[in-house]
Amino acid sequence: MTSKGKVYLVGAGLGNVAYLTVRALQLLTQAEVLVYDALVDDQLLQLVPQNCLKLDVGKRGGKPSTPQAEINQLLVKYCQLGKQIVRLKSGDPFIFGRSAAEIDALIAPNCPFEVIPGISSALAAPLLAGIPLTDPTLSSCFAVFTAHEPEKLDWEALARLETLAILMGGKQLSAIVQQLLHYRRSPQTPVAIIKWAGTPKQQIWTSDLANIQIVTAGVSLSPVIIIVGEVVTLRERLNAKIEIKFPALDMLPDQLPLRGKTILITRSAGQSSQFSDRLATLGANVIEMPALEIGPPVSWEDLDRAIAHIADFDWLVLTSTNGVDYFFTRLATQGKDARVLAGVKIAVVGEKTAHSLEQHGLHPDFIPPSFIADALVEHFPEALLGKKVLFPRVETGGREVLVKEFTAKGADVVEVAAYESRCPQTISPDALKALQQQVVDVITFASSKTVKNFCQLLASHGGANLDSICIASIGPLTSKACQQQFGRVDIEAEEYTLEGLAQAIVQWPKH
C-alpha cells in the first residue's frame, strides 16, 4: 500500500536564499515534488534534490497561466501518490497567496498539509530600503493591499491612512496617484518604489505623488512595492546603515554553461534586468554597468502636437520599448488612451517592443522579420507613397537612415522627440573594479550608443586593459560601433535579440 504523502505550503520570502526560513530550506532539500510560482528566484530551484519533479505553475500577468483548479489537482494527485510536495510561493503563503483554495482542496480528500511562513515583501522591501513602516512621529499605522484591481478599493479610506504599502501596483501607478490626489492626499506626499527587493537587482525610486510618474517614466515597474507616506523621508538617514547580503549557492550544478564566467552588461539605467537574469540562470556572475540614462526630451511640444492630430496619420512606427513607454505615458497625460489609435496602423521593431505595446492592449500590424529598424522599409507591408507616418524617437543620435528611406519611398514622415538617452555621469564602482582588476570575461553591448558611452565612462575613470575580454554584440550596427572603438568583435548574435545574444555567448568556443 502506498504511504500517504504530505503537502508543505512554503513561503519563499523575497526569493533570495538569504531570506529563507530554516524550515523552508530544510523542506526544499528534501522535496520529491516542487510546485512553484513565477517570482520564485531560480537559485532556489537548485536547492531541491536532482531527481525532484519541478512544476512551474506561476501566474504571469497578461500571459497564459495555470488555472488554480489545476494546481489544486496537482497537489492532491502527488500527495495521494505518497510524495513529499513543496508548494513554493513568493513571500508569505497567507498574504495574497491563494492558499485557502489549495488548503480546501487538500482537506476534502484528507491530504496532510503544513503551512510554513515566509517573509512578505510588503514588510521586508521597505525595511531593506531603509524605510520604517511605523514611526512614533510620522506613522502610527500602515495598510498593506494589492492594487491589482484598483477599482475595488476604498480609496477615500486609504487616502486618510498615514502609510500605505502597495503590492502589484506597478502597472496601476497612474490610477493610484489619481485616486489618492482625488481624495485630497497632498501632492507633496513622499513616495518610494522598490523593485526586486532583497536581490542584487534591487532598485529604488523616490519622489512625491505629483512627480513619481515622471521619475519612473519608461521604466518597467514589475515586480515592485510602492510605499506612500512621510516615513519615506527617513530613508535618507537610515538607508546607509542597512546591509543586504546576497550569498551565492555553492551547489549550482557544474553543467551550467556559463558557470565561473563573469559577464559585464552595459544597459540603460532603470531598464529591465531580464537579460541579467537569463545569464545568471546559465551560471554566470553578472555585473551591471548602466551606460545609458533614459529620460524625457527637452520639450514635449512636437509629440503633443502629433498626439492632438493622431487621426491624421496612417502609421505609427515604434522602434524601441522606450519609444512605446514614453509615447503612451504622454498620451495619458493628454487625457487620452489607446482608443485614439483605432484608425492608425502600428509597426514595431523587435519582440520586446511588440511585448511592450501589448501591455497597452494593442498588437502591432507589422514586425519586420530581422528585428532591426533598417528592415522596416525593405519588408513594409504596403506602398508608402502618400502615407503619413508618425515616428516618436530618441531626441538625438537616432536612425537617420530609416527616415531617409521612408521619405525616399514617398512617405510623409513626422519625427518627434519622445525621449532622450544620455551618457551617465558616473560608472558603477563594482563594474570599474572588475574591469581594472581584469576579472571580466565578457562585455555585452545591445546598442551602438552603449559602446560609445562605455568607452567615454571608462576613459574618464582611468581606463582599463580590455585585450583579454570578449566583446559581445547584439547585431550589425552595434558590431560596427565595437569595431570602431575596440578594433574587434568576438561575438555577434545570429538573432538580434537579447536571448540571441545570450545563446551566442553560450556557444562561444573560448569559454
Residue type for position 120: S
Q: Is 59 a catalytic residue?
A: yes
Looking at 314-428, list the stretches that DSSP marks H as alpha helix, in order from N- to C-terminal side.
321-333, 351-358, 375-378, 400-408
Catalytic residue (one of 168, 289, 352, 449): 168
The alpha carbon dihedral of 483, 487, 492, 498 has a sign of negative
Alpha helices, DSSP H only, in 361-508?
A: 375-378, 400-408, 429-436, 448-460, 476-486, 498-507
Q: Is there a catalytic annotation at residue 37?
A: yes
69 CB contacts (<8 Å, ≥6 apart)? none
For 152, the grid coordinates are 475595488
Catalytic residue from among 6, 59, 409, 480: 59
**Interaxial angle between packed helices 351-358 and 321-333, expressed in degrees from 0 to 180 and rounded to the nearest 10:** 20
Peptide bond just before 223 cis, omega within 30 deg? yes
CA–CA dist 340, 211 (Å, integer): 25
CA dist., res. 462 & res. 470, Å (int):
20
* Alpha helices in 233-383, H assignment, sequence order: 235-238, 274-281, 301-308, 321-333, 351-358, 375-378
| Closest to 118 measured CA to CA, from 226, 60, 40 | 40
The residues that bridge with 216 in the sheet, in sequence order, are none
> Which segments within 160-311 are labelled E, that is strand?
163-167, 190-195, 203-208, 224-228, 262-269, 285-295
Nearest Cα to Cα of residue 272 among 328, 323, 227, 321: 321
Decide if 433 is catalytic. no
Q: How far is CA 408 from CA 134, 367, 374, 384, in A?
A: 63, 21, 14, 9
The active-site residue, picked from 37, 41, 325, 441, is 37
Burial class of 495 by CB neighbour count within 10 A (0 to 12, 13 to 18, 19+): middle
Task: Say what angle helices 476-486 and 448-460 make with each other, to 10 degrees.
Answer: 30
CA distance 99 to 117: 12
Q: Which residues carry out catalysis? A: 37, 59, 168
